[in-house]
Structure 1
């Protein structure tokens, strides 16, 4: 048993939740009256920190570059499909070990590429959401030999929709992508409170650190965050489930900071002002609307998503609701049957590309 008033002692780990002190504060708050749970969660945290990790795979070759962004090519044959990840957390969620959606898609008869946003530098300080599309995403798309199908996940889906509205593409699929930010309802208050607290630091640094965003995600469901570490401590460390947990948590605890301009847009214009949902977001001189797309489009919506609630979806005519969580819909045990395969079938059903 653990004294709930004791301060947990940890050496500086190479791996762990970012920022660790805030995670430990949350752990203590959630388990203060249950010392056995605190002990179990701390044991799970130590096991996660000490878990062996294979060397990361080498980056896939570059198919195109624009500014700091790179289009990573996964090969395949047939129609080109470009996956657009969120600016928050690395793109690896779409290429996560045995649960790699992009590698599976490349084996299904498509040429597949994945956007790597790269690490923002000092010159990117004022790059807002619009500039990420106009200066990075659209130029990557326009270097391809034919308009691709865009598949955007989370905030990457928001950006993919804006790109599809202003750049020729063969189709658009969004996965758990917010558009009507008013759909966050009362949860937007906590996000804006977090942003106001972090704003002075972000303005001083020119970026919003990933640690701030991670702490915000924990606040959405702190009980679940603690419970998953409790469960991990009981897993066979050499088993497939433990290896999958480590891969996923390493992804969740990684990521480049957001440029200050993108952070301002995300919180001030999108979360607070619902600019996309109100039709007040202009890209390449066009007010972006999900209802005026010139290409076939489908959205996959997670009905149990805490990060991107279903109420924030764009409202496309072809909407597929899944009883999977935000991350589970991409890498969970039912993801292949419920998302991967329907997505592949939808892409395969699109009109043949003109050559």
Structure 2
């Protein structure tokens, strides 16, 4: 027994290595989680004769409607018959008018009929796990997306017409694009970024200085743009699953530049891109060496002043944890808290939750244990899987079949500049928040003691975005359930990134906003939406006015850049060094 016990770690290491090897081929997706979901669905459906009959009748009815439509369309009458199946509201694959002509409409309708039937077939069966039902529906959608006629060059009218017009030149360009991308993939290198949006030259060019640096982050202090500034500075905590300059893109849509122009003293954390050597960095290290270290620097540079703290995505989640910890420990250092598309409760975290169960996390942990990090390609694949039509198939059709490289914009250029995640940090984050939801369950401990969000007394401004697939706005809204302070919630249109990067003058922007005062009764999200005041345009001015109201009256002279006498001398011009790491 003693010998067996001593050799157990070696056997376990062999198991983890085997799973890590498989994970490299599956991009970190657990085969067991997928198979278990299909078995759950098939076994319950197999014991449901009524549901089987319902699906059989639906299939017969769909075939009948499809057949009738084909006969009427083939008759070539002057009036086109009304198609029996319509694309989903956000499905733009069939927007081209040519899809309404014969015979392309037949391919489109046959595909949409299959989609409709599979939506019915993958509805939850009594006794089945709701998560397995959602997972099966998600996988069925992905499988159908592969065989969409929009992806087939001989069935897509846009590709057929382009090939005829160019005598196949589009396919030659597409083959060249495909070859270039495949060579990069085989070399395990990201595609070269030659889009003109060079960091420090076209984007991330708001003037400033790095005034503090440690092994985890750089702190940038931005140069004031007004003669006098608000008393309280702003500290922005971006997510470390992305580079900070999504909030400082071009001057025209830079949130940082906008705030500086409004007379705010702005500080920004720029996270270092970890490598395999950083495998043991913990989630709490991002709090202590990130938020708290940055807050110490801001307090030294702008002494005797509280700080407006702002967190984006996971940066906002960590900011909430840091704020609750400070409240617990009597460290009242914040004037306000702003959370941009940041969740605190993960029970309804959208499609990302489909990837989270014990088997999936263990599988992902073994891959990260072997690599030391979650690689950019693996993380990027997970996000693309959430929106395959937009981010995978439509892109492949344009670039490989139509021969058109996507025109780069600053936001897509930034999205391609990806970061890695340390093994231990990401494991702790997935288990504590996504899997166990400890923060809102009263079981999240910091330094050995449990914290509670309801201890936060600082006013909060929270932003949700309507089409967010990473932090669904109703999940973000649930912050109302776990806090008792003043809470202003604003819902803007757009997605996780585009909704936040919403500068004044951005066409088509709108929002709803309302404030919950301490002691107010809880209002559910749908009721809130019906009651909240609507507004047109960017939400940035609304936030700036809110910050002004929650700060000290009057303005003061701008602080110096850094505080050398206190150990915070300017080190390097913005955007710093860490942002260039790939």
Fold shared per TM-score above 0.5: yes
Q: What's the offset of the Cα at 1:57?
A: 0.5
DSSP-derived class of the 2:490 partner: strand
**Structure 2 residue corresponding to 1:159, chosen from 305, 315, 318:** 318
Asked if 1:85 corresponds to 2:228, the answer is no
Q: What's the offset of the Cα at 1:134?
A: 1.7
**Structure 2 residue corresponding to 1:325, chosen from 495, 503, 511:** 495
Asked if 1:73 corresponds to 2:221, the answer is yes
Q: In structure 2, what is the Cα distance between the partners aligned to 1:101 and 1:344?
A: 11
Q: In structure 1, what is the Cα distance between the partners aligned to 2:194 and 2:148?
A: 27
> What CA RMSD, in Å, does the superposition of the two structures yield over aligned residues?
3.7
Normalized against structure 2, the TM-score is what? Answer: 0.50
DSSP-derived class of the 2:494 partner: coil
Partner of 1:291: 454
Query: Relative contact order (alpha carbons < 8 A, sep ≥ 6): 1 or 2 greater?
Result: 1
Residues 221-264 of structure 1: CA distance to partner in whole angstroms, max 9, x if unpaired?
A: 21121466379779x99xxx9442xx222222223211112111
Greater alpha carbon shift after TM alignment, 160-169 vs 292-301: 160-169
Q: What's the offset of the Cα at 1:45?
A: 11
Matches within 5 A, 1:157-306: 157-167=316-326, 168-184=333-349, 187-192=352-357, 195-226=361-392, 229=395, 242-244=407-409, 247-284=410-447, 287-306=450-469
Partner of 1:52: 195
Q: In structure 1, what is the Cα distance between the partners aligned to 2:540 and 2:393?
A: 28
Partner of 1:15: none
Partner of 2:248: 95
Q: Is the 8 A contact 2:193 2:413 kept in 1?
A: no
Residues 53-85 of structure 1: CA distance to partner in whole angstroms, max 9, x if unpaired?
A: 243207752122343211112222333111111
Q: In structure 2, what is the Cα distance between the partners aligned to 1:74 and 1:231?
A: 42
Change over 3 Å in CA distance of 1:73–1:229 after alignment to 2: farther
Q: Is the 8 A contact 1:72 1:113 kept in 2?
A: yes
Query: Structure 2: 5+ residue runs without aligned partners?
Result: 1-23, 28-141, 160-169, 179-190, 327-332, 511-535, 557-582
Change over 3 Å in CA distance of 1:166–1:232 after alignment to 2: farther
**Structure 2 residue corresponding to 1:126, chosen from 280, 295, 300:** 280
Greater alpha carbon shift after TM alignment, 81-90 vs 61-70: 61-70
Change over 3 Å in CA distance of 1:186–1:108 after alignment to 2: closer
Q: Is the 8 A contact 1:89 1:256 kept in 2?
A: yes
DSSP-derived class of the 1:181 partner: coil
Q: In structure 1, what is the Cα distance between the partners aligned to 2:361 and 2:427?
A: 9
Greater alpha carbon shift after TM alignment, 282-291 vs 142-151: 282-291
Partner of 1:338: 538
Q: In structure 2, what is the Cα distance between the partners aligned to 1:139 and 1:96?
A: 25
Q: What's the offset of the Cα at 1:27?
A: 11
DSSP-derived class of the 2:440 partner: coil
DSSP-derived class of the 1:55 partner: coil
Greater alpha carbon shift after TM alignment, 36-45 vs 270-279: 36-45
* Larger of the two Rg values belongs to structure: 2
Q: In structure 2, what is the Cα distance between the partners aligned to 1:256 and 1:189?
A: 23
DSSP-derived class of the 2:470 partner: coil
DSSP-derived class of the 1:219 partner: helix
Q: Is the 8 A contact 1:45 1:229 kept in 2?
A: no
Change over 3 Å in CA distance of 1:229–1:73 after alignment to 2: farther
Q: What's the offset of the Cα at 1:186?
A: 6.5
Residues 93-136 of structure 1: CA distance to partner in whole angstroms, max 9, x if unpaired?
A: 11111321111111111011111111225663222222210232
Matches within 5 A, 1:139-158: 139-144=293-298, 145=302, 146-158=305-317
Change over 3 Å in CA distance of 1:121–1:52 after alignment to 2: closer
Q: Is the 8 A contact 2:222 2:265 kept in 1?
A: yes
DSSP-derived class of the 1:183 partner: coil
Residues 277-334 of structure 1: CA distance to partner in whole angstroms, max 9, x if unpaired?
A: 2132223555333322132211111232111112322225322222321112122533
DSSP-derived class of the 2:211 partner: strand
Q: In structure 2, what is the Cα distance between the partners aligned to 1:100 and 1:228?
A: 29
DSSP-derived class of the 1:325 partner: coil
DSSP-derived class of the 1:329 partner: coil
Q: Is the 8 A contact 1:126 1:262 kept in 2?
A: yes
Q: In structure 1, what is the Cα distance between the partners aligned to 2:394 and 2:552?
A: 45
Q: Is the 8 A contact 1:81 1:110 kept in 2?
A: yes
Q: In structure 1, what is the Cα distance between the partners aligned to 2:323 and 2:316?
A: 10
Partner of 1:30: 146
Q: In structure 1, what is the Cα distance between the partners aligned to 2:379 and 2:290?
A: 23
**Structure with the largest fraction of helix:** 2
